[in-house]
Homo-oligomer: A and B are copies of this chain.
Amino acid sequence: MAVAVDLAILTVRDKQLQVLTVERGTPPFQGACALPGGYVEDEDLSAAAARELQEETGLDADKLHIEQFGAYGAPDRDPRGRVVSIAYLALMPDLPLPSAGGDARSAHWIPVGKLLAEPERLAFDHHQILTDAVERARAKLEDTTLAPAFCPDEFTVAELREVYETVWGHALHPGNFRRKVTGAEDFLIPTGERTIRSGGRAAALYRRGPAERLIPAILRHHSARSGAGRSQLRGPAR
C-alpha cells in the first residue's frame, strides 16, 4: 500500500484566495489540475511534505506555516492502485515563486472559488481535499494567530483585514476589526514605521507577535445574535 502526501498551498493574491496546482501531463486525469504531492520515502510525513513543498515551489518549509489536516484513503481514489494520502495545508504570502525547483514544470495559482465550482477540474479526490483545506484555513483564522502567514513580514492592519475578508469571503467592519486585532494580546507588534500603500493617510506597520491563540477570537459569523447598535427603534416619542 503506497503512502503519499498532498499539499494545499494557499495564498491571497489579487483579492482572491488561490491555490497552487500542477497540471497533470500523464494519465490518469491527464490535462486536469492536481494538488502538488508525491510518495513518502524513508522520512517522516512532515519531512515528505516539506520536501515536496521545496520541489514544487522552491520555498523552505520552515519559513512558512505548514500543518497536517487529514488523511484520505478510499480504495478507489487512485485508479492506478491503493494510495493513502496525507494532506497538508500551507499558507504563504503572495511571493513570486522561485520556480527554480526542477519540478516546477507547470505550477499555477488558481482561484479557489473557481476550482471549487468545477469539481471536474481537479484530479483524484483533490476536490474534497481542497474543500477540507479551505474550511480548515477559515476556521483557524478565527481563533489562532495564523492570518499573518498570508502577509509579508511587515503589514498594515488594512492588509491583514483583506486577508480575513478574502478567506472568509465577506467584508468586515474596518473600525471594529482594528480594535480587535490591536487589542488581542501579543498578536501584532507595531514596528513604529508607517507606509503608504494607497491614496490616503499613511498606515502603521506591524509584525506578527508571539501569541499562537487569538484571545478573544474573531468570529466569522455574526452568530445569529440579534445585533446590537442602533437598529432598535428608539425615536423620540410616537
Residue numbers of A with Cβ under 8 A of B are 1-3, 40, 42-45, 68, 70-75, 82, 84, 86, 185, 215-216, 223-224
Task: Tell me if A42 and B3 are in contact (CB < 8 A).
Answer: no
Cβ contacts under 8 Å, A45 to chain B: 71-74, 84
Task: Tell me if B1 and A40 are in contact (CB < 8 A).
Answer: yes
Q: State the CA gap A38–B72 with chains docked (Å).
A: 17
Chain A to chain B contacts (Cβ below 8 Å), 21 pairs: A1-B3, A3-B73, A3-B84, A40-B73, A40-B84, A42-B75, A42-B82, A43-B75, A44-B73, A44-B74, A45-B72, A45-B74, A45-B84, A68-B70, A68-B71, A71-B71, A71-B86, A73-B86, A84-B86, A185-B224, A216-B223
Cβ contacts under 8 Å, A68 to chain B: 70-71
Cβ contacts under 8 Å, A2 to chain B: 1
Q: State the CA gap A54–B31 with chains docked (Å).
A: 42
